């Protein structure tokens, strides 16, 4: 504990030192590369949009600081305004609203952003082959260009506008802390595209989960094959009505695969709840039922509490040698 406290204190000292150093770096020159003349012309008709574009808008600030001799303005994204000044139609300017309003396909709208960002952002490496691009989702579908820098960065709520099933799941009884703001969609998915399924930030599902659930990665002396293959065999990543994000309640979940002789074959019905401590053969059990089924008719640790993992607690893998480890009970 002492050690941890020392580390924490040092951590804050380091943060302060780094901050001071980075602040010192910020003492350099600046030249304004943003053409306010163009912006003022646009403002005559689009006052709200131009006003929102100033302040701490990232584009406004970045362009304003450039020293490459080029001039940046509204036209950098929207194209020449000359034609638009004469012809007020949406076709005469590059708009970023949805296709119905802007009359431009998503790919064309995104291409405007990619002119710069395809080389500046590593997140966009696989944009062309990403699922969003191929489903006509454009940059402006998620990013707000004219607001402050905070508005430009989408939140989970942005994703929920289309992914309504996920919005429903993250509100369920068992969920990752997404609505609490501790985990964002962006932590697990790269919405701009990956080469794998579901845009996940991992070479497979397990590698992604191990980033936070590192204690589950092993390697274990006794592994559980479906666990090593795919966490999603038993868990729902976004949320579930069952505890621990399980896809189904135990013991039913485990009995879907483990239906062999012995206790996995027993029907754990309502008589195995807490409170049924009477020995088999006495009411409420039928007198005709004796061993071995009676083991399934008294209160059973395979149903109550967490079910199978009441005993098979090392279900993700065990380093105990022998059969105790193989059955994940030690």
Q: Which of residues 272-291 bind another protein (CB under 8 A)?
A: 273-275, 277, 279, 286, 288-291
Q: How far apart are CA 43 and CA 39, in angstroms?
A: 6
Judged by CB under 8 A, the number of residues near another protein is 130
Q: 65, 159, 199, 237: which one contacts another protein (CB under 8 A)?
A: 65
| Cβ contact 127:192 at 8 Å | yes
**Residues 1-20 interacting with another protein (rule: CB under 8 A):** 4, 7-8, 11, 15, 18-19
Phi and psi angles of residue 101, each rounded to the nearest 5 degrees, phi first: -85, -45
**Residues 97-126 interacting with another protein (rule: CB under 8 A):** 99-100, 107, 118-120, 122, 125-126
214 binds another protein, rule: CB under 8 A: yes
Query: Scanning the structure block, which residue is given the tokens 């703001």?
Result: 181
**Residues 305-324 interacting with another protein (rule: CB under 8 A):** 305-307, 309-314, 318-324
Secondary structure class of 129 (helix, strand, coil): coil
- Per DSSP, 240 falls in state B
| Cβ contact 215:305 at 8 Å | no
203 binds another protein, rule: CB under 8 A: yes
- Between 147 and 218, name the residue whose CB sits nearer to another protein: 218
* Core vs surface per residue 96-116: b (16+ CB within 10 A) or e: beeeeebebebeebbebbbee
Phi and psi angles of residue 125, each rounded to the nearest 5 degrees, phi first: -50, -45
| Residue 159: CB minimum distance to another protein, A | 14
**Residues 148-167 interacting with another protein (rule: CB under 8 A):** 149-150, 164-165, 167
**Residues 17-46 interacting with another protein (rule: CB under 8 A):** 18-19, 22-23, 25-30
* Torsion, Cα of 56, 58, 63, 64 (10° steps): 10
Tokens of 121: 């952002």
Q: 41, 194, 231, 236: which one contacts another protein (CB under 8 A)?
A: 194
Instruction: Indicate if the alpha-carbon torsion angle 219, 222, 225, 226 is positive or negative.
Output: negative
| Residue 88: CB minimum distance to another protein, A | 19
Q: 86, 88, 270, 282: which one contacts another protein (CB under 8 A)?
A: 270
| Residue 237: CB minimum distance to another protein, A | 16
| Cβ contact 194:207 at 8 Å | no
| Residue 85: CB minimum distance to another protein, A | 26
Q: Choose the stretch contacting another protein; rule: CB under 8 A; options: 35-43, 55-63, 73-81, 82-90.
A: 55-63
Q: Choose the stretch contacting another protein; rule: CB under 8 A; options: 35-43, 78-86, 87-95, 128-136.
A: 128-136
- Between 86 and 120, name the residue whose CB sits nearer to another protein: 120
DSSP 277-296: -SPTTSTTS-TT--TTGGGG
Nearest to 253 by CA among 272, 236, 270: 236
Contact characters 228-267, another protein, x per CB under 8 A: xxx--x-------xxx----xx--x--xxx-xxxx--xxx
Q: How far apart are CA 245 and CA 238, in angstroms?
A: 8
């Amino acid at each position: 504990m002492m050690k941890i406290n020392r580390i924490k204190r040092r951590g804050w000292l380091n943060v302060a030192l780094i901050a001071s150093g980075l602040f010192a770096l910020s003492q350099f020159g600046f030249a304004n590369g943003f053409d306010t003349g163009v912006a003022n012309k646009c403002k005559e008709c689009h006052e709200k949009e131009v006003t929102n574009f100033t302040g701490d808008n990232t584009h406004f600030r970045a362009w304003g600081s450039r020293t490459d001799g080029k001039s940046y303005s509204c036209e950098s994204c929207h194209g020449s305004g000359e034609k638009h000044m004469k012809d007020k139609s949406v076709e005469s300017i590059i708009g970023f609203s949805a296709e119905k309003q802007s009359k431009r396909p998503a790919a064309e709208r995104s291409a405007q952003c990619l002119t710069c960002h395809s080389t500046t952002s590593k997140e966009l490496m696989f944009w062309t082959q990403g699922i969003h691009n191929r489903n006509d989702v454009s940059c402006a579908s998620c990013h707000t260009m004219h607001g402050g820098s905070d508005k430009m960065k989408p939140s989970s709520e942005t994703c929920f506008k289309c992914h309504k099933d996920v919005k429903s799941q993250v509100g369920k009884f068992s969920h990752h802390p997404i609505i609490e703001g501790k985990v964002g969609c962006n932590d697990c998915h790269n919405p701009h595209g990956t080469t794998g399924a579901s845009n996940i930030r991992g070479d497979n599902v397990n590698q992604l989960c191990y980033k936070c659930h590192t204690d589950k990665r092993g390697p274990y002396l006794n592994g559980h094959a479906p666990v090593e293959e795919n966490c999603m065999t038993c868990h729902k990543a976004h949320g579930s009505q069952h505890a621990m994000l399980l896809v189904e309640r135990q013991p039913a979940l485990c009995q879907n695969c483990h239906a062999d002789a012995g206790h996995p074959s027993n029907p754990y019905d309502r008589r195995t709840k807490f409170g049924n401590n009477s020995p088999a053969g006495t009411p409420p059990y039928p007198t005709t039922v004796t061993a071995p089924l009676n083991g399934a008719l008294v209160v059973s640790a395979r149903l109550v509490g967490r079910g199978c993992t009441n005993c098979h607690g090392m279900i993700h893998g065990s380093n105990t040698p022998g059969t105790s480890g193989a059955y994940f009970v030690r």
